[in-house]
Amino acid sequence: MTDVRSYFSSRSNLLAVVMTALVVAYIGWKITESPDQALQFAFNGMSVGAVYALVAMGFTIVYSTVWFFDMYYGAAAALGAYGVFYLRSSETLGGLYEINNPIVNGIFALVVAGVVAWALHTAFYYRLRSRFSDRTLRITGSVVAAIAGLYAGIVLTYPKELHITLSPVVAALVATGVVLICRTAYIRIAGSDGLKVPTLAALVVGIGLGLFLAVWIADSPGSKLYLSWGVSCFLAGVVSLALYRGLYVYMRERARSPLVMLVATLGILLAFSALIVIVFEPTPRPLPEPFGNETMNILGAAIKGFNIFTIAIAVIGFLGLTWLLKMTTFGRTVRAIGDDEEVAKVVGINTTVIVAIVFFIGAVFAALGGLLSGHDTAIQPRMGLLLLLKGWIASVVGGIGNLQGAIVGGFILGMLEQFGIWDLAGEWRDVVSFLVLILFLSFWPTGILPRK
């Protein structure tokens, strides 16, 4: 009782409670006034909030590891959406705005080659240099990286054949995934990894399943749109990893202030936005229609299956990230780096590699949020900055640095936006978001679920 009295003795706390009660009362009044419209706004809020949650989760996993604001994630969101348009522009508006730029293809091919070269050097060089000469390892790594870059260039140059050029990658990923899952399950059940027969059997099953899916995809031109999702997210992640390994590592060593990193990453975001205008022009563009674009009438609300899919993706992404961070060795090392990076280095953790992977994962989430948003509305050059700000506001609402807060904050922000414009024009949605930010920074700076 004493704690309650002391809480309400503060004018700011009392004002915050009164404002919260007014918001709840307003929403309750609107629900009783028009239940059908309230359901429509609630569903729209959940759908938009799922996109905000995806961007917020990508931002949160990086921020809680390195503790600086990387504004590239706005560019990653735009890259996810514009990547889909770049690869599928022949299917949009009858191919009127079809685009394929050899310079863009070459730049991404070089970035992929560079990242593959670094990955091979990090994973295998020090393990194999006792068996092979330094020259042999470097030449082999360079050749493999060049092949990877050339393959990426071919995929981007011939987007109309995406279902054919990517079918071998699908086969390889499925076979690898089956082997890893079966091997892990066998080790946990049997408690031993000495037998080679289960691994060989899993390999045979994985190769068979991979080949089946590869043939099916190569025979399904309709799969090109969804393959472009994977390519766009992969490229956004690769660029993020390249920026961290090629730029941020050295900047963090020299710049002791997070403000320097904030300004530098803001420059990267603005540069990407300018490049988007140069390559694609500033006019908004639609993306090809995905599955589930037909509306269903549920209790008076018009609901699209694709929006339900977006909400499901946000929830699955959250569960996957939670499992990765809580239940795996990789997650434990990430949390150790977030707690104290210098101590993590002392105990033998290769922080550069772990953080690079974290940057890749974060950018994939941001790109996924961007492309899902682009399918729901349209794409435009400043969408990256807007999604970044909305993702950041969602993190503030839920609790900065807290993964649970990221998804909760995303859905809450989406709902507040929709109910806030009930009697207003849609253009007021951004005003509502920034008012929410100001209120939370004023009264609940740690968010709803503060990081412990």
Are 278 and 412 found together in one domain?
yes
pLDDT at residue 205 greater than cutoff 70: yes
pLDDT at residue 10 greater than cutoff 70: no
Alpha-helical regions (H) of 161-223: 162-165, 167-190, 197-218
User: Considering only CA atoms, which of 403, 405, 429 is closest in space to residue 416?
Assistant: 429
Are 250 and 374 found together in one domain?
yes
pLDDT at 231: 92
pLDDT at residue 8 greater than cutoff 60: no
Structural element, H or E, at residue 310: helix 305-327
Tell me whether residue 169 is in a domain: no
Are 55 and 150 found together in one domain?
no
What residues make up the domain containing 123? 99-157
Domain count, the chain: 2
Q: Which of 113, 136, 157 is the last residue of a domain?
A: 157
Tell me whether residue 124 is in a domain: yes
Are 136 and 262 found together in one domain?
no
Tell me whether residue 192 is in a domain: no
Mean pLDDT of 57-80: 88
Q: Model confidence at 129, in pLDDT bands (50, 70, 90)?
A: confident
pLDDT at residue 433 greater than cutoff 60: yes
Q: Between residues 255 and 315, which one has the greater pLDDT?
A: 315
Mean pLDDT of 191-217: 73
User: Considering only CA atoms, which of 293, 316, 159 is closest in space to residue 223?
Assistant: 159
Q: Which of 157, 174, 193 is the last residue of a domain?
A: 157
Are 116 and 56 found together in one domain?
no
Please count the residues of the chain: 452
Q: Between residues 152 and 214, which one has the greater pLDDT?
A: 152
Between 100-114, 144-158, 188-202, the lowest mean confidence (pLDDT) is in 188-202
pLDDT at 239: 93
Q: Model confidence at 173, in pLDDT bands (50, 70, 90)?
A: confident
pLDDT at 444: 81
User: Considering only CA atoms, which of 334, 343, 451 is closest in space to residue 404?
Assistant: 451
Structural element, H or E, at residue 149: helix 134-157
Tell me whether residue 119 is in a domain: yes
Are 78 and 111 found together in one domain?
no
Tell me whether residue 376 is in a domain: yes
Tell me whether residue 72 is in a domain: yes
Are 87 and 105 found together in one domain?
no
Each residue's pLDDT tens digit, 20-53:
677 777 777 767 777 777 787 788 888 899 999 9
pLDDT at residue 193 greater than cutoff 90: no
Are 224 and 266 found together in one domain?
yes
Neighbours of 115 (CB within 10 A): 24
Q: Model confidence at 4, in pLDDT bands (50, 70, 90)?
A: low
Q: Model confidence at 240, in pLDDT bands (50, 70, 90)?
A: very high
Contact indicator for 215, 184 with CB cutoff of 8 Å: no
The structure tokens listed for 297 are 């009438």
Q: Buried b vs exposed e over 340-375: b needs ≥16 C-beta within 10 Å?
A: ebeebeeeebebeebbbbbbbbbbbbbbbbbbbbbb
Each residue's pLDDT tens digit, 266-324:
888 888 888 888 888 888 888 888 887 777 777 777 788 888 899 999 999 999 999 98
Tell me whether residue 300 is in a domain: no
Each residue's pLDDT tens digit, 89-98:
877 766 667 7
Are 315 and 409 found together in one domain?
yes
In angstroms, rounded to a whole number, what is the distance separating the alpha carbons of residues 107 and 395? 33
Q: Model confidence at 149, in pLDDT bands (50, 70, 90)?
A: very high
What average pLDDT does the structure give for the chain?
83
Tell me whether residue 74 is in a domain: yes
Are 131 and 87 found together in one domain?
no
Say what percent of the chain tops pLDDT 70: 90
The structure tokens listed for 346 are 């002392």
H, E, C per residue of 15-63: HHHHHHHHHHHHHHHHHHHCHHHHHHHHHHHHHHHHHHHHHHHHHHHHH
Mean pLDDT of 187-201: 63
Between 3-12, 129-138, 232-241, 321-330, the lowest mean confidence (pLDDT) is in 3-12
Contact indicator for 52, 316 with CB cutoff of 8 Å: no
Percent helix, strand and coil across the chain, each rounded to 5?
Answer: 80, 0, 15
Are 328 and 263 found together in one domain?
yes
Contact indicator for 379, 284 with CB cutoff of 8 Å: yes
Cα 356–Cα 166–Cα 310 angle in degrees, nearest 5: 65
In angstroms, rounded to a whole number, what is the distance separating the alpha carbons of residues 157 and 159? 6
Are 277 and 421 found together in one domain?
yes
Q: Which of 128, 157, 186 is the last residue of a domain?
A: 157
